[in-house]
């Protein structure tokens, strides 16, 4: 039987970071590296389906690692900045199976990276593209958050368990397209209260939608706890485009 998490207490998140308008090839890499970017469009079409993320992790001033969550699998690869260009290796990834439409989109997404050679950043957005302009990925930064605590009504969260906190559109509870933020917390010791912080991109927030939090605790592949109530939350949305 699933036990219930007693409550989730949260506060509205604040802006964590932002960036200025520059070309990456002549810009401080800190403006784009070590942040989570969420895909908003691919080759001119708005992103749809499961949330797709990207992170750039520098190794030296010229190269680093890229990784994130694609439409189904986690992916990873390398990049190098030289001669005013950025070059990506072909991407590797995990091998989970998902519905065919998601797998098709994922294959298209991952195949795009080796064709790209440039990054533009504008305000809180990032664009990966190529010289010919026929390949383009756009992203928004996860620049805001909601945070609070999760408490078990009985017992504790056991060491080795994982707490997953999901920020979703309340009208799309079973649709991955409704998820705009996820945090995964690894429990290292017996505790009955855990702090959480779920980051999200304001650009993904629909001002006419209502959003809620859902949490569950996984232990040895089994759901041990689930939220008794899905609390609603007010989110920051991006300013309307002029």
Give yes or no for residue 4 having a pLDDT over 60: no
Q: Which residues pair with 35 in a beta bridge?
A: none
Q: Beta strand pairing status for 3-11 and 222-227?
A: parallel
Give yes or no for residue 215 having a pLDDT over 90: yes
pLDDT at 226: 86
Asked if residues 62 and 44 have their Cβ atoms less than 8 Å apart, the reply is no
Q: Which residue has the higher pLDDT, 40 or 84?
A: 40
pLDDT at 17: 30
C-alpha pair distances (Å), 81 with each of 78, 109, 151:
11, 21, 46
Q: Which of 216, 205, 231 is nearest to 38 (CA)?
A: 205
Q: Beta strand pairing status for 136-141 and 125-129?
A: antiparallel
Q: What average pLDDT does range 36-61 have in this prediction?
A: 91
């Amino acid at each position: 039987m699933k036990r219930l998490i007693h409550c989730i207490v949260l506060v509205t998140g604040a802006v964590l970071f932002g960036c200025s308008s520059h070309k990456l090839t002549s810009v401080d890499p800190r403006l784009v590296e070590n942040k989570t970017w969420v895909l908003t469009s691919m080759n001119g079409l708005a992103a749809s389906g499961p949330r797709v993320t990207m992170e750039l992790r520098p190794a030296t001033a010229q190269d680093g690692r890229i990784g994130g969550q694609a439409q189904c699998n986690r992916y990873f690869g390398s990049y190098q900045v030289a001669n005013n260009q950025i070059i990506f290796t072909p991407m590797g990834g995990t091998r989970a199976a998902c519905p065919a439409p998601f797998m098709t989109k994922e294959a298209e997404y991952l195949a795009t990276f080796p064709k790209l050679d440039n990054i533009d950043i504008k305000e809180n957005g990032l664009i990966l593209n190529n010289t010919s302009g026929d390949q383009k990925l756009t992203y928004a930064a996860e620049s805001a958050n909601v945070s609070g605590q999760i408490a078990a009504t009985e017992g504790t969260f056991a060491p080795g368990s994982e707490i997953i906190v999901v920020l979703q559109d309340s009208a799309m509870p079973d649709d991955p397209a409704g998820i705009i933020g996820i945090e995964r917390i690894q429990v290292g010791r017996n505790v009955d209260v855990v702090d959480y912080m779920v980051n999200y991109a304001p650009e993904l927030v629909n001002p006419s939608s209502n959003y809620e939090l859902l949490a569950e605790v996984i232990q040895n592949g089994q759901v041990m706890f689930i939220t008794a109530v899905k609390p609603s939350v007010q989110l920051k949305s991006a300013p309307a485009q002029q």
